Chains A and B, each alone.
Chain A
């Protein structure tokens, strides 16, 4: 009989994951959300900094209307001319959302709630918020604040922190 030692869960050198979401397409938002949530599920701290078009994902009126790009996206294997026709982008997005729902992926709004409840910090980029003339009431209630990139780097100032730009 060999007695084994249980590998300690959450024992990783990665302590904190900081994501910068700069794009407003649905697949990029999900990439950031799945990784940030996955980190929390592993006992790793996580935070997301929303900048430029990434701000679409935290605007109350826009977050449920994120699209996938059908023009200039070779991975869709669709002729560029076709991707530009009216309704094609909406159709591709609808199909993608359907597949995501099958995998129990929450819609953007619910995902943000889950992230916030899981302890993932959500930040708006001050420069981009000013540039797009956004007000506090335009942004989701779960937002932890609007900060500068310098503030965000300050949050990276500990060992085992990784930054990822999406």
Chain B
């Protein structure tokens, strides 16, 4: 299905996750973040870049991975992306929702 984000037509799945990462740019990320009421700071973008990097290397995302990332600790992660941090951050990053249970 299609959705207008940052004045662009973007392909998303039923949960709003981008289907094609090539359609992502910072404005799109910002548009999604606004919808989720997340005020993006430099630290938020640093996390987004880390997640995208992991995704491109085809490494699975987990909260344990966040702990080991060196980018952010778990407490900060929860406070930057409240109410489901990994789901919200991956949504903004334009990458698929992690399938892991941990």
CB-contact partner of B14 in A7, A103, A119, under 8 A = A7
- Which of A16-24, A33-41, A84-92, A157-165 is found at the contact surface with chain B? A33-41
- B67 in the interface, Cβ–Cβ < 8 Å? yes
CB-contact partner of B83 in A9, A34, A103, A105, under 8 A = A9
Contact (Cβ within 8 A) B67 A114: yes
Given contacts A9-B87, A117-B75, whether A34 and B102 have CB atoms under 8 Å apart is yes
Q: How far is the CA of A110 from the CA of B63 in the complex (A)?
A: 12
Contact (Cβ within 8 A) A103 B102: yes
- B23 in the interface, Cβ–Cβ < 8 Å? no
Q: How far is the CA of A41 from the CA of B15 in the complex (A)?
A: 16
CB-contact partner of B16 in A6, A34, A41, A105, under 8 A = A6
Interface bracket on B:
20 to 34
Contact (Cβ within 8 A) A117 B83: no
Secondary structure of the A contact surface, majority rule: loop
- A130 in the interface, Cβ–Cβ < 8 Å? no
Contacts of B60 in A (CB 8 A): 104
Contacts of A104 in B (CB 8 A): 60, 62, 64-65, 100, 102
Given contacts A4-B14, A6-B15, A118-B78, whether A42 and B64 have CB atoms under 8 Å apart is no
Chain A, Cβ-Cβ closest to B5: A6
Contacts of B12 in A (CB 8 A): 4, 6
Chain A, Cβ-Cβ closest to B4: A3
Q: How far is the CA of A118 from the CA of B43 in the complex (A)?
A: 18
Q: How far is the CA of A46 from the CA of B77 in the complex (A)?
A: 17
Contacts of B85 in A (CB 8 A): 41
The chain A residues found within 8 Å of chain B, CB to CB, are 1-4, 6-7, 9-10, 34, 37-38, 40-43, 103-106, 110, 113-114, 117-119
* The 6 nearest A-B residue pairs measured at CB: A6-B16, A43-B83, A117-B74, A43-B84, A10-B83, A10-B84
